[in-house]
Amino acid sequence: MELMIKDKIAVVTGGGSGIGEAIALRLASEGAKVVVADLDPEAAKKVAGTIQTQGGDAVFVVCDATNPGAVDALMEKTVRTYGAVDILVNNVGGGTGINLVVKTLLEDWDKTIELNLRSAYLCCCAAAKIMIPRKQGRIINMSSISGKQGEPLLGAYCAAKSGVIGFTQTLARELARYDITVNAVCPGYVFTPGWEKLAQALKDSQPALADKSLLEIFEARVRSVTPLRRPQEASEIAGLVAYLVSYEARSITGQAISIDGGIATG
């Protein structure tokens, strides 16, 4: 299938590692010009360098996606470098610690909402201002299986990812008149640096996991909850994103699409 995203200009937040890295590489391999935006300068530089080595076009921008000034600067740099923003992938996200809701510190709650929801809100607003006059655009917000169902010990993360879906549905309706599509992607389990941190937190808090490796903790969780009994690869998530930002997917908007081995049924 011809995705028709050659020369489209794509911003990928959190593009320096994990799922974001896979998305940046995949969009570049389809011919998009990619802005790899990440808090971690080395990670962002490495991914942009890999794309260039593979013959693609990419730059990196060091950016805290929760900071309004930094997000505006990211979009300005994108426009200065490539002339527009056609595709925005709000991939930044993750949790801050694990705990029962009633024991979650307010500070951790706020940080998790900021990282997942505030970042998407800020980036969407900044990119939409550029997309609206051009009457075209594709926005992907990274949600999660945790945005579709509650998960003990991950209350703030579930609230944030569920919020991402509600926000996506609203924005899709508001931007449809400008031919801008907005969709959420809901992965299940991908073994990334982010999941390693979660596995470490589980190991630290549960004595039964003390002698398990982080990968064993991840695999046991996957097997216990996933009908297909296997995790997802970051490249699978990237493939779904590549499709959703393509011309082929022009009629899909306001959706929260699960890619989770069959966990979510709605």
- Which positions touch ligand NAD (CB under 6 A)? 13-14, 16-20, 38-40, 43, 63-66, 91-94, 115, 119, 142, 144, 187, 189-190, 192-195
Contacts of 234 (CB under 8 A, 6+ apart): 18, 19, 21, 22, 190, 192
Contacts of 102 (CB under 8 A, 6+ apart): none
What's the closest the beta carbon of residue 111 comes to ligand NAD, in angstroms?
Answer: 10
**Cα–Cα separations (whole angstroms), residue 120 to 123, 153, 155, 184, 229:** 5, 23, 19, 11, 31
Task: State the Cα–Cα distance between residues 263 and 266, nearest whole angstrom.
Answer: 9
Instruction: Using the minimum distance from each CB to ligand NAD, give the nearer residue, 178 or 243.
Output: 243
Q: What DSSP letter does each residue of 213-239 carry, written as one string? A: -HHHHHHHHHHHH-TT-S---HHHHHH
Instruction: Using the minimum distance from each CB to ligand NAD, give the nearer residue, 39 or 252.
Output: 39
What's the closest the beta carbon of residue 135 comes to ligand NAD, in angstroms?
Answer: 28
Instruction: Using the minimum distance from each CB to ligand NAD, give the nearer residue, 123 or 175.
Output: 123
178 as an active site residue: the answer is: no
Residue with tokens 């505030």: 118
Instruction: Using the minimum distance from each CB to ligand NAD, give the nearer residue, 32 or 156.
Output: 156
Residue with tokens 């992965």: 187
What's the closest the beta carbon of residue 4 comes to ligand NAD, in angstroms?
Answer: 25
What's the closest the beta carbon of residue 137 comes to ligand NAD, in angstroms?
Answer: 20
CA dihedral 242, 243, 248, 252 (to 10 degrees): -120
The pair of three-digit structure tokens given for residue 227, joined into one six-digit string: 């009908």
Q: Which of 157, 178, 189, 247 is catalytic?
A: 157
- Which residues are tagged catalytic? 157
